[in-house]
């Protein structure tokens, strides 16, 4: 999956320091900034240095034509092309939402509730690709997040993932009902609803940028 992004990483000299998660999150950020976003602002959101952000933008524009430059007075920004918008819509069939989480609601299920920021995303119908959530946690840590927690929708409730698919309903571990209600409410705001085998990924980090990257990188392990 995401083979359309392969050209962003081709180099005969130095391998880019950005990762696939940076490219995909960049597309989400462009989708949120329809009037354009500049290199410095994008680099700050992606936690990339100036050179890496510049290279990523250049390749998104020239090699796969997902973005273009727009001039607004003296300022230049980047926006999605129709090709880029179409690709983002395709991604959103699998990951329709990445949203900042409320720490007060999620503190009981994240790694460092006293100081971390949180984001969450919905990943559609991928329950068969998760075991105990360790791979997702590790992916979050790899991108300098604190960790990630996954919740699987079994058709009735959100439950913590388990390597055993034979557990009876009474043995399944569920988060607090307030957390269940919180996610249902958040999804309704986006005109979304949980379907069986959907997964909610909650990522945390020492900053909102780290938390968002951690969340998305964890989610990408499921696709």
Q: Residue 75: which pLDDT band, with cuts at 50, 70 and 90?
A: confident
Q: Are 29 and 21 within 8 A, CB to CB? A: no
Whether residue 107 sits in one domain with residue 85: no
Q: Residue 79: which pLDDT band, with cuts at 50, 70 and 90?
A: very high
Domain that holds residue 36: 3-91
Q: What is the CATH number of the domain that holds 22?
A: 1.10.10.10
Rg (CA), the chain: 18
Whether residue 207 sits in one domain with residue 151: yes
- Total domains present in the chain: 2
Tokens of 92: 């959103």
Whether residue 68 sits in one domain with residue 99: no
Is 9 a residue whose pLDDT tops 60? yes
Whether residue 209 sits in one domain with residue 150: yes
Q: What is the CATH number of the domain that holds 171?
A: 3.30.1360.30
Whole-prediction pTM = 0.93
Q: How many C-beta atoms surround the C-beta of residue 114 within 10 A? A: 7
Among 65, 91, 117, the domain boundary falls at 91
- The pLDDT of 159-170, averaged and rounded, is 60
- The pLDDT of 44-69, averaged and rounded, is 97
- To the nearest 10°, the Cα dihedral for 202, 98, 58, 18? 0
Which contacts of 6-9 are long-range, i.e. CB under 8 A and separated by 24 or more positions?
7/59, 7/63, 7/64, 8/56, 8/59, 8/60, 8/63, 8/64
Whether residue 174 sits in one domain with residue 121: yes
Tokens of 161: 């993932």
Of the candidates 170, 126, 185, 114, the residue with the CA atom closest to the CA atom of residue 151: 126
């Amino acid at each position: 999956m995401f083979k359309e992004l392969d050209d962003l990483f081709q180099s005969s000299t130095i391998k880019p320091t950005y990762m696939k998660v940076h490219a995909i999150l960049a597309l989400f950020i462009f989708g949120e900034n329809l009037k354009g976003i500049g290199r410095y602002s994008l680099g700050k959101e992606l936690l990339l240095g100036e050179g890496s952000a510049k290279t990523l933008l250049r390749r998104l524009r020239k090699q796969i034509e997902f973005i273009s430059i727009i001039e607004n007075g003296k300022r230049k920004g980047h926006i999605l092309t129709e090709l880029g918008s179409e690709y983002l819509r395709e991604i959103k069939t699998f990951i329709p939402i990445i949203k900042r989480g409320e720490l007060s609601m999620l503190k009981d299920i994240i790694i460092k509730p006293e100081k971390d920021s949180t984001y969450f995303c919905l990943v559609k119908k991928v329950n068969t690709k998760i075991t105990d959530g360790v791979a997702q946690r590790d992916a979050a840590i790899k991108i300098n997040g604190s960790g990630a927690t996954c919740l699987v929708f079994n058709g009735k409730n959100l439950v913590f993932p388990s390597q055993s698919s034979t557990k009876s309903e009474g043995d399944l571990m569920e988060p607090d009902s307030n957390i269940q209600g919180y996610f249902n409410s958040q999804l309704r705001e986006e005109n979304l609803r949980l379907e069986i085998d959907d997964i909610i990924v909650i990522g945390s980090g020492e900053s909102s940028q780290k938390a968002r990257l951690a969340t998305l990188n964890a989610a990408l392990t499921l696709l």
